[in-house]
Amino acid sequence: MSDLHPDTRAVHVPQPPLNGSVPIATPIYQTSGFAFEDPAVFADGMSRPDGAFVYGRLSNPTVRALEDAVAGLEGGVAAVAAGSGMGAINCVLFGLLSPGDHLIAQKPLYGGTATVIADLARRFGIAVSYVPEDDPAAVRDAVRPETRLLYLETIANPMTQVADLPGMCAAAREAGLISVVDNTFASPVLCRPLEHGADVVVHSVTKYLSGHSDVLGGIAVFADEALHRKVWSFSTELGATLDPFAAWLTVRGMQTLPLRMARHCENTRVLATRLAEHPAVEAVHWPGLPGHPSHQLAVKLLPGFGAVFSFDLTGGRAAGERFMSSVRLALLAPSLGGVETLILHPATTSHRSQTPGELAASGIGEGTVRVAVGIEHAEDLWSDFTQALDR
Ligand SMILES: *Cc1c(COP(=O)(O)O)cnc(C)c1O
């Protein structure tokens, strides 16, 4: 290098050899591409998901660390990360479906997913039938010769219905369908859908996996290599790639996922059981409570009942709005899965595009408040909720 001009030396930064050292923490490979000594290795890397790292839209070592970590937690063979949960969901749906196909989806569905599926039907000629999340017979009835895929969510938003994963995935398997499960609300700590017969698991890693409200990301995990390869290939076309820094933050956050989930669930148990006894509260929707329609299923399927719940205030919309503006510790915000407790009013925010009829059908009232419980001390949260309810 010493015979080169400073202009050239400034450009070609030497890379220190690691000489056998292995970093304890995952390094951030903040590079858009990789250089090669062997042109054949370069060419091979372009053509498959597990070849050499070539270009960031195809793969990156920090992103791969995340993909391997989540695939390991979910019990899958490989994963494809994306720039958001919706990016991962779109990679899977557009990667696996073609015009003329038919898809069966559960209702209720996460809002963004519901919109994409409606668009598939309206703009891309992919028909859809909706079934309840716990009715395998309805799946069998809905199957047509051109049906390809069943789409489920482990725990739904905001009324927290739990899907009958073993029953629904078995019905899909009998009919030769691919089952896709959005496991965002449960995380692999509470549920591993591949163990219940699913073929693909998707996550918004924005939520519990990263866990600190500082990342937007998504991931799809696959039970078999062929599906992984197909979706990976489409993901390189779509380009909804995850950034290495977001992958790094997520890998870092995931090291405490089991600890966080335990506290999230325990705090939720405290709040949900106490709110159920409170005179200002008409109903609490959380699968850990014996009165919830999914309680029996949740007891069978989940070692914990999740950390999102909703409740209806006896005073309706006015009471809901007063509660929202009276909390001091809980933040009024969208999203969930971070260490902070967040609350929102579905009727005016996450579910604002639903008609009053649709809202009523999903059980969401004017006074329904959704809570995404954080990992603060439970008594501080309870004090905040009671002072807000007292007003
Ligand atoms: C947030 C969320 C998504 C979408 O994820 P983004 O990271 O916001 O794109 C999908 N499914 C569920 C269940 C979610 O909570």
What's the pLDDT tens digit per position in 180-198? 999 999 999 999 999 999 9
Indicate the pLDDT class of residue 2, thresholds 50, 70 and 90: confident
Give pLDDT, residue 362.
81
Helix 85-96 to helix 225-238 angle, to the nearest 10 degrees? 110
Residue-level pLDDT at 78: 98
pLDDT the model gives residue 363:
85
pLDDT per position as a tens digit, 144-159? 999 999 999 999 999 9
Closest atom of ligand 1 relative to the 205 alpha carbon = 7
Q: Which pLDDT score, from 0 to 100, does residue 361 have?
A: 82
Read off the tokens for 141: 């009835």
257-390 maps to which CATH number? 3.90.1150.10
- Regarding predicted confidence, which is higher, 160 or 360? 160
pLDDT of residue 304: 97
In percent, how much of the chain has pLDDT > 90? 88
pLDDT tens sequence across 63-116: 999 999 999 999 999 999 999 999 999 999 999 999 999 999 999 999 999 999
- Model confidence at 391, in pLDDT bands (50, 70, 90)? confident
Q: Are 345 and 369 in contact (CB under 8 A)?
A: yes
Residue 21, pLDDT > 80, answer yes
Residues 210-226 have pLDDT tens digits of 999 999 999 999 999 99
Query: Is residue 77 a contact partner of residue 224, using CB atoms and an 8 Å limit?
Result: yes
DSSP 177-223: PEEEEE-TTTHHHH--GGGGT-SEEEEETTTTTT-SS----EEEEES
Q: Check whether 348 has a pLDDT greater than 90.
A: no
CA of 86 relative to ligand 1 center, distance in Å: 6
The chain-wide mean pLDDT, for the chain, equals: 95
Query: d(Cα 366, Cα 158) in Å, to the nearest integer?
Result: 13
The pLDDT value recorded for residue 358 is 81
* Residue 246 pLDDT exceeds 90: yes
Sheet-wide strand order for 342-344? 281-285, 308-313, 368-372, 342-344, 331-332
- 216: Cβ below 6 Å to ligand 1? yes
Phi/psi zone of residue 38: left (φ > 0), alpha (ψ -120 to 50 degrees), beta? beta
Q: From the CB of residue 141, how many other CB atoms can be counted at a distance below 10 Å?
A: 12
Burial of 208 (0-12, 13-18, 19+ CB in 10 A): buried
Q: Which atom of ligand 1 is nearest to the CA of 337?
A: 15
pLDDT of residue 346: 87
In short, whether 184's Cβ falls inside 6 Å of ligand 1 is yes
Average pLDDT over residues 340-369: 86
Task: Answer whether 206 contacts ligand 1 (Cβ < 6 A).
Answer: yes
Question: Residue 386: what are its φ and ψ, rounded to 5°?
Answer: -70, -40
What distance in angstroms lies between residue 155's CA and the mean position of ligand 1's atoms? Answer: 12
Q: State pTM to two decimals.
A: 0.96
Fill in the amino acid letter for 24: I
For residue 19, report the distance from its CA to the centre of ligand 1, in Å. Answer: 41
Domain ranges in the chain are 39-254, 257-390
Architecture of the domain made up of 39-254: 3-Layer(aba) Sandwich (3.40)
